[in-house]
Structure formats: C-alpha cells, structure tokens
C-alpha cells in the first residue's frame, strides 16, 4: 500500500514530490481493492465521476488549497452530487444534484470524494451489522463488529484508504466505530456542522462526525466545515467556549457507575488512560454519572424514537418491507409515542440537563470509555437490541445534553482489539478536547489505524507490599519467572494504609488529588502468560490498576478499593511498606 495515512502525507506528495493528482487518487483506489471483502463501500468513484475533479485541480497550485487532492469518504446518508444516496436501503435510493453543505466545503478546499460508505441502515445502530450491503468487518479481528452506524467511514480511515472521512453521530455513530478501529472520531457540537443534505435520523440531534488518523487532522477538517449555513435551520454560530489551561479537571463516573459488561481488559485500559491523563496535568474528580445514564435511556426508550419515524415517514409508511427486520422494528415503533409522551420527555430532559450542567460546571471535561466492551458479530445476531443498548451506555446522552465529544485511541487488549476513550465537554469546546485528545493519543504510544500489535512478552508490575523482594509473598512472582527491574517510587499522588484487619496485614494504596506522597515500589517484569494466574490470586480489596511513577511513566500496579481504608491505619508518612514493618 501507499502508506499515505494523514492529510499531511498527501499534501507532501503534491507540494514537495510533485506527484500528479491523477496518479495519487488512482493509487488510492487501487489500494482500496485490498479491502473489497470488508464491506466498506456502497459506491466507489469511477473515472467519469473523478474527471471534473482532476481537471479543476490540475490547473491549480497545490499550495493554494488546504486539502488539495486529498481523498475522503462519505457515509451513504450524506449527499454527494452524482452518487446515489441509499442510507443503507436500495429501495430508498435517490440521486442528489447537489452536495451536502459540509461536502461542498471540503470540495471547495480541494478534497476529492472517492466513494459512499456502508452503514447501519438509516443510521439506526451502533454495531455496523445492520446493512443489506454486508456487515462491517473489524479489521483487527473479523469475528468482531466494526461498530456503527458509520461503519464504512471508520473502516476506510482505519485501513488507510483515506486520511479522513465523514460520518454522522446521533447516538454514538461517530465514536463507537472510531474506538473499534483505533482512530479518532470527533462529534462536534450540535449545529456546528450543517446537516443540510443529510438523511435525518433524529434531525434535532443529528451531527456530522469526522473520522481521522489523529486529532490534528480532525481539527483541520472541522475548521473547514464549521461554517454557519443560513439554509439549515439547525445550524448555529459558536458561543460559550470555555478554554482549558495546561491543568484541567476531568470527571469520571463513580466506581459503581462505570460499566464494562465483564470486559476486564477494557476496564484495565480505562484506568491506564485515567493515569495517563493525570500524568499530563489532569486532576481527576469523581462525578455522579446518574443524570447522564438516565438521559441516555431517553434516546431509544423515550419519545425521541418518534423523530426517527418522522425523518422517513413516507417511506416507512409505504415501503417498510424494504427495511431489515431490526431496523423496521426500531423505526416503526416511533409511530407510537403521543404528544403527551413528547412533552413529558422534554420536561424530564430539561431536569436532567439542569443536573448535568451543574456537574459539567465543576469540571473541564468528562472522560469515559467510548464503549464499555466490544462484541462478536454472532453475539450481536443473537441479541441485536440489548447489546446495541450496552454500546450506547457512554454515548447516547451526548446530543440530548448538547455536549461536544472526541473519541481517541487508548490501547489494545491482550487479544489485539482496540480500545478508546471519549473526552466530552460543554458545547463548542472541540479545540480544547482535540488538544487534550492529541496528548493522550501520543501517550498511548501506539500509532493509529490498522496496525499489528505485538503483545509484550512481559508485563511491568509495581508492587508495594508483601510481594516485594525478601517479603513473604515474593515467591508468587519468582515462581512465575518474574525478575525485579529496579526500585522506584510513585508520583506524589498517593496515600498509603496498613489494612491490619487482615492476616497478615496488607498494604492499601489509594490515589488522591491532594495530600499524597511518594511511596516506595519495586518494578518487576513478569512473563505475560503468567500474569493472569498471578493476578487471579490477588484477593480483594486490592484491584489491578495503573500507577503513575515519580518519573511520569505509567505501569500496572495494585490499588486498594476505597471502602477498605475506612478506619485503617494511615502510613503515608512512612513512605513505604518496609518502613512500616520495621517500626
């Protein structure tokens, strides 16, 4: 493949190497054929479609346009003049004579649309499997879902076919497939990008989303598209921006409100991301996530389902048999809510918005997993609605509460499946979110897109108690072939307790915002294949998490559940477990 992954890579080809736009785009389309079995595309550009784009750019200076010759993909519920818009349903198909507003802005900037991408039919789903054009295939493991509804748009970026693409995001469709594809997904503020020329899902909530290899490219595309469209009644100008400084407060759900649906690898990766954000200057705060959870339920279990029906009412009334069964069931259920249901829903949303606004005012951003888990395609076939609901746990509330959000890659499971987190803020804070997201993405130390992840042969583990060298439980490490790397200490963000109600006493390490100190630890390398058995033998209230070391590095370690230190003896001032034992 050409390995042109970012916008900058393409511009370099034109501006520095002097390559022709015909050659570059033809190579791009040739590369795309390698993924023809992944159900990425519904329509691909042919020579006749592309010729006017080539003729226009061939008489332009490559330095005169910010996206000169850069190919991009468009979700097939967004209009591109000269290509059919299907919304994932052939019977609904029509041929638009005009580009959607956002597509027009990108073309004016020099970009070239090379195709329309697959999606969950009528953008109703977060799974990527609800399409008559084939299920989206996860490029890291074909047994797993790609995520949706913007499945093809995300896959095209993950594969490196295009450096950016457009999707839509009503309930998470621009974030979930980004997380499952190891790329960035920006869900702008409602109304920041015009939805004129977009087949509506929930028109009052719909957002055009941007997929990219990195936050810088997502920001570049956003800046080119975020123009007020006077012909779109939902388009609105920027207002109320709250810039963040180098230090920022980020809220995470309380421990009893975090949900990983049994996926311990995702749970571990989330806490690793939290620790990395702290190492980047973030101050962690626990928030009450219940208003967000309840708001998420309104989207599909409240009167807003009627808006999905309203968006394609005529087609739903006359050709519902053309829809997939699960899509038909969702959309036709929108005919049931009454006007009274709608008003009651708006009243409750207003109450929840008031509660969430108070929470958001106390922090700069909130940080959650983008999805609490990932499912196999066969699991989705067996439970299409319940598992889809699980995928929306952290996403469905965003547009109802008028938040901006950015999903960024945040590591891989031991099986090589991507994980991502979402940073969300009040409306119009896209630039601040992308700035923090870029730093977190860099800290994850993995490139974006389709990469083969070589799993480490060893896991570096910080121990602070009886597993330290010369102490009673050290054999549990050495028996598994672990070797000590060095002695170290934590960052000064921890309090230390002796849990003397246990026999023998156990150490309890708690992460805090203030009042902490450096705590002595030892770093041990344990073979990856032996780590699982070691971890399973560690009893509560200890739990695997991520520790920030004094040098800013983040490693695995054992933290204590907060409840266990109530009434326990604090030994923070002693600086370590050995000092406690030697009292």
Catalytic residue set = 75, 149, 173
Query: ω into residue 429 within 30 of 0, thus cis?
Result: no
Cα 575 to Cα 504: distance, rounded to the nearest angstrom: 20
Strand partners, 543: 559
Q: Which two tokens stand for residue 177?
A: 């497939």
List % helix, strand, coil for the chain (3-state, nearest 5): 35, 20, 40
List the one residue out of 221, 208, 219 whose CA is nearest residue 67.
Answer: 221
Cα 30 to Cα 23: distance, rounded to the nearest angstrom: 10
- Which residues are CB-contacts of 21 (< 8 A; sequence separation ≥ 6)? 14, 53, 54, 57, 58, 68, 69, 112
User: Quick check: helix, strand or coil at residue 349?
Assistant: helix
User: Quick check: helix, strand or coil at residue 285?
Assistant: strand
DSSP state of 353: H
Torsions phi, psi of 80, nearest 5? -125, 120
Tell me whether strands 112-117 and 71-75 are parallel, antiparallel or unpaired: parallel
Cα 84 to Cα 79: distance, rounded to the nearest angstrom: 8
Alpha-carbon dihedral of residues 158, 159, 165, 171, nearest 10 degrees?
Answer: -40
CA distances 49 to 65, 81, 246, 323, Å, are 21, 10, 47, 29
> Could you tell me if 339 and 373 are in contact, meaning their C-beta atoms sit under 8 angstroms apart?
no
HEC string of 97-127 equals CCCCHHHHHHHHCCCEEEEEECCCHHHCCCC
Cα 485 to Cα 461: distance, rounded to the nearest angstrom: 10
């Amino acid at each position: 493949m050409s390995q042109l992954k970012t916008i900058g890579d393409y511009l370099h080809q034109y501006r520095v190497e002097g390559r022709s736009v015909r050659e570059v785009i033809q190579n791009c389309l040739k590369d795309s054929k390698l993924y023809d079995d992944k159900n990425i595309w519904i329509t691909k550009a042919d020579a006749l479609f592309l010729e006017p784009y080539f003729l226009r750019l061939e008489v332009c200076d490559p330095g005169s346009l910010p996206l000169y010759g850069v190919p991009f993909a468009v979700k097939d519920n967004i209009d591109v003049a000269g290509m059919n818009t299907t919304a994932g349903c052939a019977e609904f198909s029509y041929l638009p004579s005009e580009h959607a507003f956002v597509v027009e802005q990108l073309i004016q900037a020099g970009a070239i649309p090379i195709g329309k991408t697959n999606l969950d039919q009528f953008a109703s789903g977060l799974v990527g499997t609800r399409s008559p054009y084939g299920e989206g295939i996860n490029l890291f493991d074909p047994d797993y879902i790609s995520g949706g509804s913007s499945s093809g748009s995300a896959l095209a970026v993950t594969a490196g076919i295009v450096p950016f693409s457009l999707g839509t995001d009503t309930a998470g469709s621009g974030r979930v497939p980004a997380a499952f594809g190891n790329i960035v997904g920006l869900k702008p503020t409602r109304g920041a990008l015009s939805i004129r020329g977009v087949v509506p899902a929930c028109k009052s909530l719909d957002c055009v989303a941007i997929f990219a290899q990195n936050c810088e490219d997502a920001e570049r595309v956003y800046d080119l598209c975020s123009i007020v469209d006077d012909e779109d009644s939902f388009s609105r100008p920027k207002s109320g921006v709250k810039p963040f400084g180098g230090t920022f407060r980020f809220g995470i759900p309380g421990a009893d409100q975090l949900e990983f649906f049994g996926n311990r690898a995702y749970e571990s990766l989330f806490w690793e991301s939290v620790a990395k954000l702290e190492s980047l200057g973030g101050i962690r705060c626990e928030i009450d996530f219940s208003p967000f959870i309840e708001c998420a339920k309104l989207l599909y279990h409240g009167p807003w389902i009627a808006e999905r029906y309203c968006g394609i009412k005529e087609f739903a009334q006359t050709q519902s048999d053309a829809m997939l069964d699960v899509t038909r069931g969702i959309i036709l259920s929108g005919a049931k809510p009454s006007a009274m249901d709608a008003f009651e829903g708006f009243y409750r949303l207003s109450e929840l918005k008031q509660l969430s606004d108070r929470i958001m005012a106390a922090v700069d951003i909130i940080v959650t997993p983008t999805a609490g888990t990932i499912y196999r395609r066969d699991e989705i076939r067996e439970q299409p609605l319940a598992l889809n609901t699980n995928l929306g746990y952290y996403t469905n509330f965003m547009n109802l509460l008028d938040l901006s959000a950015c999903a960024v890659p945040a590591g891989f499971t031991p099986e090589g499946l991507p994980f991502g987190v979402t940073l969300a803020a009040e409306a119009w804070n896209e630039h601040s979110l992308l700035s923090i997201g870029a730093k977190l993405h860099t800290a994850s130390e993995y490139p974006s897109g389709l990469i083969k992840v070589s799993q480490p042969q060893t896991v570096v583990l910080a121990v602070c108690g009886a597993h330290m060298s010369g102490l009673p439980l050290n054999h549990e490490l050495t028996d598994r072939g672990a070797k000590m790397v060095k002695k170290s200490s934590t960052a000064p963000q921890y309090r230390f307790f002796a849990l003397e109600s246990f026999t023998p006493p156990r150490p309890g390490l708690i992460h805090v915002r203030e009042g902490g100190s450096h705590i002595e630890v030892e770093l041990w390398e344990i073979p990856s294949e032996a780590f699982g058995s070691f971890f399973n033998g560690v009893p509560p209230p200890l739990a695997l998490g991520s520790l920030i070391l004094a040098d800013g590095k983040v490693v695995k370690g054992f933290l204590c559940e907060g409840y266990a230190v109530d009434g326990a003896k604090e030994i923070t001032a002693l600086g370590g477990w050995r000092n406690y034992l030697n009292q």
